[in-house]
Structure 1
């Protein structure tokens, strides 16, 4: 059973520019998304996919355990996710949905696990 993805914390980078890092969780997994303009509030439910921006190294993953980890203090993430829809490049880490900004390589189908890095995860 999937859990709702909620805003756990908001760290404003610039209130004037409405730029923020938004910490999201489904109760098991957590990620940090860049949001601008940020009109989210703590506790908001996020149902739309996040955008994995500037994805690199998309490949089949041997592990069938999803993970998403921020790379140091950068905006980048290292991800292992299950392909939810191979036609549109929609992935899932628990209940967190990610949309890729580039197509999946050939041979990767719905249900497979893939790993990749991205320069940023965006929340709209």
Structure 2
């Protein structure tokens, strides 16, 4: 059984490991706890027992716009609805906080997940790549 907790407690190391698994690359030493507490409306932790198996961050502008970032599910729970549930819990809490818009950007291979599974719709948007 997987439990979902809005603004749940976590250790930086477990989010760093999950993020590396989900997005590829090495395990970094990001201070996720400081980052989300300083800049986010909230986040959702998915746990199977004590193990973190999913995470999503909800950043915001302090007003009516919230942004889904870093949606990650462990490989062993993918295609089981964990990512969809993470985004659903995030959506509910952003709505309850008074947000009117929930934004997401993603790579093309995640289009089906965000549009079909999570209910996002396509809108015109702009993007400037600032890094490599």
TM range (shorter): under 0.3
Per residue, is there more helix in 1 or in 2?
A: 2
Higher RCO structure, 1 or 2 (CA under 8 Å, sep 6+): 1
Per residue, is there more strand in 1 or in 2?
A: 1
- Taking structure 2 as the reference length, the TM-score comes to 0.23
